[in-house]
A = this chain, B = another copy of it.
Amino acid sequence: MASNTEENYLKALFQITIESGNKQEAGTNEIAAHLGVKPATANDMLKKLKLKKLIQYEKYGKSSLTKAGKKIAIEVVRKHRLWETFLFQKLAFSWDEVHEVAEQLEHIQSKKLIDKLDAYLEYPAFDPHGDTIPNAKGELNITIKKTLLEEEVGHQCKMIGVKDNSASFLQYVNKMGLSINQTIRIVARQAFDDLLEIEVNKKISSVSPKFAENIIVECAICNKATKA
């Protein structure tokens, strides 16, 4: 069983490598900076994680996750994102408040709890930041997360989150007939003033670029194109 701290190191390594990058490894200083500790501290932990066979690491070299280490990292990410979704959807936390609390909740040890939470939330695919939630098997569908502003004309996409979480913006979102999981079709983009024409529930409306860049969407068409 990994300690909270060990879990945090594995998660950091996961985020630096697998997620936000192409290179599959990270340096000691990079990891230390990510966690807000000194390189000497990170170095100690890396040696320990190597001994536990959770990472690959050689003196003066870069670190990367082993299969076992990656499994733990993904579990922590899964817990983090499920809790964020719970806080956002059920407890009406705002988008920017969920992270801090989820940092604590992600370390609760109970397989049963997290699987029941997943079921209770009806197996959400995305957290409120629009990031993919790994499933119970540790599978993580890498989907392209983008804002409505970046979506292509003609494509149909699904709203999976918001960036701005102010009451005024959320009311506006609501007024436009938008909510999580709502399907949106991009009808046109006006070259003249950059307004975006979207179709929601068979109703067409125009939204500003500022509005559009605060709506996080997922697009099945784009995802397929990327995989091919």
- Candidates B93, B110, B120; contact of A90 at CB < 8 Å: B120
Assess whether A142 is interfacial by the CB under 8 Å rule. no
- Candidates B92, B93, B105, B120; contact of A91 at CB < 8 Å: B120
Q: How far is the CA of A104 from the CA of B105 in the complex (A)?
A: 9
Could you tell me the dominant secondary structure of chain A's interface residues? helix
A101 touches B113 (CB 8 A): yes
B-facing residues in A95-125 (Cβ within 8 Å): 97, 100-101, 104-105, 108-110, 112-113, 116-117, 120
Assess whether A13 is interfacial by the CB under 8 Å rule. no
Closest residue of B by beta carbon distance from A101: B110
A110 touches B116 (CB 8 A): no
Assess whether A49 is interfacial by the CB under 8 Å rule. no
Interface size range on A against B: 10 to 19
A 143-169 to B, binary, CB cutoff 8 A, 1 in contact else 0: 000000000000000000000000000
B117 touches A91 (CB 8 A): yes
14 residue pairs of the A-B complex, CB under 8 angstroms, read A87-B113, A91-B117, A91-B120, A92-B116, A93-B112, A93-B113, A93-B116, A100-B110, A101-B108, A101-B110, A104-B108, A104-B109, A104-B110, A105-B105
Additional A-B contacts beyond A93-B112, A97-B112, A105-B105 (18; CB < 8 A): A87-B113, A90-B120, A91-B113, A91-B116, A91-B117, A91-B120, A92-B116, A93-B113, A93-B116, A100-B110, A101-B108, A101-B110, A101-B112, A101-B113, A104-B108, A104-B109, A104-B110, A105-B108
Instruction: Name A residues whose Cβ lies closer than 8 Å to a Cβ of B.
Output: 87, 90-93, 97, 100-101, 104-105, 108-110, 112-113, 116-117, 120
